[in-house]
Amino acid sequence: MTITTAEWERAVAALRGERLLIACHMDPDADTLGSALALAQAVGLAGRGTAEVVVGTVDGRPASLPRRLGALPGAEDVVDPARVAVPDTLVVVDCSGPDRLGSLAPLVDQAGQVVWIDHHRDGGARGDVLLVDPTAAATAELVAELVRRLGVPLEGSVATNLYAGLVTDTGRFGHSSTTPSAMRLGAELVAADVDVVGLTRLLFAEQRFSELTLLGAVLADARLDPRGLVWSVVDEEQLDAAGLAFGETDGLVDHLRTVSEADCALLLKRRRSGELKCSLRSINGVEVRSVAASFGGGGHDQAAGFTAHDDVEGVVERVAEAVAEAAGSRVTSTIRR
């Protein structure tokens, strides 16, 4: 952990009061929402007031939560972004930078104080208290430590929400983010009676028939570029028909990621406006964050994303070139070792 004891103590001191708002990134995933809900519940259990949870959107309209995330305990209390007042304390969770908050980004400058909790490397975290540690497997791991320091036991809804974030960001304890510390937290949460089977089914294993047929269509359209890129496209209309949100396509890109001839998987999600929201996943250890960064996006070494206004062919061409280059430098460094 790179966070000092003094910084943890400053975070604990900041978490009190009535005008406390916890903000999640746009296109929410289980780490941002689970972390926010767990922290809000812990603040309440610690007798420190009521914390509200809000999810960022581009236009300030309420996010329609993915069905799976809507089932997390407390998700029904998420507030409308158009109705939030400037808080005394703003807590930002799992955001690489203020732009990930969409219309809520101005609150970072307006709030009385800002606590920023995140695990992205080289992100644009800003605030009075920075709980940022890129070695954390999930923001949920940092929130678990904060909950302990609030004197609240890791159990009940708090434990369930933290487990949802942890199990998602570690790829069910299969990605390179799976550290001993992540495993230890997982064990602690399982010991606290988290419903592992139910949550796994909810988050990963269960899907509607419409999602199954969408997967079929995305896989049928998949292409393998000889430069080491496997890619496919999905339209907003197709996602809508399958009842999936833009932040809920991990299941699709994870299938592309199984292709052994490729170094990188790319899923291009095409909005009605023509804008492309792109998900990149590393296959053989190639670093994809800088590829996303070259498009103005970001993320983690092994999972990153960006938004593009180019056409599909243009994006694929640029990503394939970047992947070929990244794979080349990786091979070189392996040989040198």
Toward ligand AMP, which CB reaches closer, 27 or 133? 27
| Residue located via tokens 């792109």 | 278
Question: CB under 5 A: which stretch of 29-37, 187-195, 257-265, 324-332 binds Mn ion?
Answer: 29-37
User: Which CB sits closer to ligand AMP, 42 or 245?
Assistant: 245
In the chain, where do the E strands start and end? Answer: 20-24, 51-55, 89-93, 113-118, 129-132, 223-225, 229-235, 264-270, 276-282, 298-299, 303-308
Q: Which of 214, 270, 297, 327 binds ligand AMP (CB under 6 A)?
A: 297
Q: Within 250-279, which residues bind ligand AMP (CB under 6 A)?
A: 279
User: What residue 177 binds from Mn ion, ligand AMP, none (CB within 5 to 8 A, per partner kind)?
Assistant: none
Tokens 């940092």 belong to residue: 142
Asked if 171 touches ligand AMP (CB under 6 A), the answer is no
Q: Note whether 227 binds ligand AMP by CB under 6 A.
A: no
For 320, residues 6+ apart whose C-beta sits below 8 A from its C-beta are 225, 227, 228, 229
Q: Which among 144, 113, 109, 115 is positioned nearest to 131, based on CA atoms?
A: 115
Quick one: 147 exposed, middle or buried, by C-beta within 10 A (0-12, 13-18, 19+)? buried
Residue type, 203: L
Is position 94 an interface residue for Mn ion (rule: CB under 5 A)? yes
Helices 156-169 + 30-45 axis angle, to 10:
160
| Residue 176 lies near ligand AMP (rule: CB under 6 A) | no
Cβ–Cβ under 8 Å, residues 31 and 59 = no
Question: Which residues 6+ apart lie within 8 Å of 13 measured at CB?
Answer: none
Tokens read off for 59 = 């236009």
Tell me which stretch binds ligand AMP (CB under 6 A): 141-149, 174-182, 257-265, 294-302: 294-302
| Partner in contact with 26, chosen from Mn ion, ligand AMP, none, beta carbon below 5 to 8 Å by kind | none
At closest approach, how far in Å is the CB of 62 from ligand AMP?
20
Residue 297 interacts with, from ligand AMP, Mn ion, none (CB under 5-8 Å by kind): ligand AMP
Contacts of 313 (CB under 8 A, 6+ apart): none
* 186 lies in the site for ligand AMP, by CB under 6 A: no
Q: Provide, rounded to whole angstroms, the least separation between the CB of residue 95 and ligand AMP.
A: 7
Smallest distance from Mn ion to CB 311, Å? 27
Q: What residues from 125 to 164 belong to the interface with Mn ion (CB under 5 A)?
A: 139
Q: Among residue numbers 167 through 226, which ones bind Mn ion (CB under 5 A)?
A: 169
Q: Which residues bind ligand AMP (CB under 6 A)?
A: 27, 96, 279, 297-300, 303-307
Q: Which residues bind Mn ion (CB under 5 A)?
A: 29, 31-32, 94, 139, 169
